[in-house]
Amino acid sequence: MYRLFDYQQKLVDQARDALAKGDKGVLIISPPGSGKSVVIAEIARLTTLKGNRVLFFVHRKELVNQIRTTFKKAGVNSNLCTIGTVMKLSNHVNEIPRPSLIIIDEAHHTRAKSYLKILNHFSNVPRLGFTATPWRMNGTGFDDIYSTMVEGPQVQWLIDHHRLADYTYISRSLGKSNLLKTSSTGDYTKNSMDKFVQSINFGNMIKTYERFAKDRKSIVYAPSIDSAHIIENQFNHYGFKAVEVDSKTPKTERESIMKGFKSGKIKILINVDLISEGFDVPDCSCVIMLRPTKSLVLYLQQAMRCMRYQPNKKAIIIDHVGNFQAKERVKVKTFSSNGKIKEKTEKFAFGLPRDKRNWTISGRTKPSSENSLAIKTCPFCFAVILANCKVCPICGEKIPVKERTTKKLNLNDETKMEVLDSPEEHSKLFETKYILTQDPSQFTSMKQLSEYAKAKGYKPGWAYYRGKQMGLFH
């Protein structure tokens, strides 16, 4: 049986309290890698302990097998559980024993027809949805499916408390391509992603892997099956054993490959949107993104796949497609003062995994909180700094003003290397990022004033005179 961490037990208690108060739907939000499966298992155990039946479903078979194992270790009564993929269960909804509780994993998919078919069939049964990313590209919310939201700790808190692994974020463009969005999904077209792969400088891809992630258990995200095979061949050509797996891989072979990766026999696993949500391999310490995306959900699920905690582990996220800089456009409906519905488009940048996000179950403009500030990369030391900085607070160089570029993502630079978000080298950066959200009149040291002044691009004398006024400098 699992022993839950304090924050996990709190999620269990809050979810059960909400149901006890009469809420029919509760959405539980906790970052990727924070242990949602053990929270699910504990709720299922407590439900079956009372002789009540649980219905659990998710969208992929791999996740079904994973939750079965978790339930067994947690002591859940399997005789009182119906577990399956959403497609299979939705096709046999009339054959499902009536549950006392419905549990949905990766619940950001809940708006899909197959999910709603099951929920509508059991419309009076309480439901719990679990997700790390309650977000849809069209901006619609989930408040018609879930009436209450329970939220766990933010990513930075989990890193600070050794519940997620810290990471270094590396960005290096490999090829030339103008990536185009498709009107049907809002993400990039397959054709433009394939053209990007054809332009890749694979020598630089291998050099980056050798420099930062050699011998690490790594997951590579490719944009298509054809490109995945190309990437697999390139790794093997340079002497690094890599194996590709996709939705068309035969079942037995696919299971063997997954087992080999988890056991460590396979070091580099290449996939196409197959390994993102819920895939649990704690000793995987590297993610390589060759799949550009305009989906915040896909970005976070893939980028954080290597951040499962292990003692002394420092993950590596290698972004070859600039996903952290991607911007998503969202259509949002609002009400004017006269009660008429208006629709407007909002745009926001994804940022980095540790950024604070203010999630909501309602339709919204963007999931970022007021403290998630715009960032850019210093062209001299490659540190991530605040977008309004005129002088880099790390190296002290004056930041040149860049000319405007087209709205298409342009990956023309084949040599630029950016080492981003490394707390070991740039710990002051993150202190500065958050100190800017404070009122300078509340500072209690000259150090705080100096950091604030540097990040704002103020003249050196500003901190001196302000400190003297506040009595901090004598």
The domains spanning 6-153 and 166-355+373-424 adopt the same CATH topology: yes
pLDDT reading at 385 higher than 80: no
**Range with the poorest average pLDDT among 249-263, 299-313, 414-428:** 414-428
List Cα–Cα distances, 329 to 112, 131, 143, in angstroms. 21, 22, 21
Residue 434 has pLDDT above 50, yes or no: no
pLDDT tier, 473 (very low <50, low <70, confident <90, very high otherwise): low
| pTM: predicted TM-score of the whole model, two decimal places | 0.76
From start to end of 30-121, where are the E strands? 54-58, 81-85, 101-105
Residue spans per domain, the chain: 6-153, 166-355+373-424, 438-469
Read off the pLDDT of each residue in 82-97 and give the average, rounded to a whole number: 94
- Give residue 51's region: left, alpha or beta (phi > 0; psi -120 to 50): left
Confidence at residue 402, expressed as pLDDT on a 0 to 100 scale:
60
Question: Mean pLDDT, to the nearest integer, of 186-191?
Answer: 77
- 14-18, 83-87, 290-294, range with the lowest pLDDT: 290-294
Which of 320, 61, 316 has the alpha carbon at shortest distance from 174?
320
Q: Where is average pLDDT lowest: 140-144, 175-179, 380-384?
A: 380-384
- In angstroms, the CA 318 to CA 21 distance is 45
Residues in the chain: 474
Per-residue pLDDT band for 51 (boundaries 50, 70, 90) equals very high
- CATH 3.40.190.10 is the classification of domain 166-355+373-424: no
Q: Specify the CATH class of 6-153 in words.
A: alpha beta
CB burial readout 291-322, b (16+ within 10 A) else e: bbbbbbbbbbbbbbbbbbbeeebebbbbbbbb
Tell me how far CA of residue 361 lies from CA of 285, 321, 342, in angstroms: 32, 30, 20
Confidence of residue 358 (pLDDT cuts 50, 70, 90): confident
